[in-house]
Amino acid sequence: MRKLKYIFLVLMLFVFVGCENSPEPEPKTEYQNITGDYQLGQEFSFMSFKVTVGKDYEVATINKELSKDHNKKVIKVPVTVTNTSNEKDHLSMFYYKFYYKDIELESKGSYFDDSLDYAKDLEPNGKYTKYFYIPYDENGQYIIEFNNLSSKYKIVINI
């Protein structure tokens, strides 16, 4: 019985000490929703880059015979990136995702040489146009989300 009291006291001590030293929860970062007043073709800042998601998207086909994705359709979306920092850098594929009907889609950029997913570093003030390759299922609302944990941007493409 005495052992049970000791365990109870130790547990209570952890609960109270843990509660007092708990950091305040950080406020949830809300989307800086670009879709309302942002149009495809307009430039926005993201991290140390200026990014323009182009208007001239098209539906393309994956042509890799030995792939499970052979003959599947993708949306080829141009994206122009300018490095505004003083160092070489590139927009990492880990900072953007694609969605359709609230389901995350896997980029198909590995099948194409001009994909942003594997683009090389840009020199300071360097600029290039590469492409997102988003799996295409049917017409509807596709979302490109840029997220670096401190800010999120959501761009909607209606097809």
State residue 150's pLDDT score.
80
Place of tokens 């007092």: 20
Q: How far apart are CA 30 and CA 152, in angstroms?
A: 7
Q: How far apart are CA 142 and CA 146, in angstroms?
A: 13
Query: What CATH number is attached to the domain comprising 139?
Result: 2.60.40.1240
State residue 4's pLDDT score.
54
pLDDT truncated to tens, each residue of the chain (159 aa)?
555 555 655 556 555 555 445 444 444 334 444 433 456 888 888 899 999 999 999 999 999 999 999 999 999 999 999 999 999 999 999 999 999 999 999 999 999 999 999 999 999 999 999 999 999 999 999 999 998 888 788 898 999
**Tokens read off for 154:** 């959501």
Residue 45 in any domain: the answer is yes
Residue 142 in any domain: the answer is yes
Residue 2 in any domain: the answer is no
Residue 1 in any domain: the answer is no
Q: How far is CA 95 from the centre of its chain?
A: 4
Count of the separate structural domains present in the chain:
1
State residue 22's pLDDT score.
44
Residue 5 in any domain: the answer is no
First CA to last CA distance, the chain: 70
> Quick check: pTM over 0.85?
no
Residue 137 belongs to what domain range?
A: 31-158
Residue 81 in any domain: the answer is yes
Residue 16 in any domain: the answer is no
Q: How far apart are CA 158 and CA 91, in angstroms?
A: 24
**Tokens read off for 77:** 């979306």
Residue 131 in any domain: the answer is yes
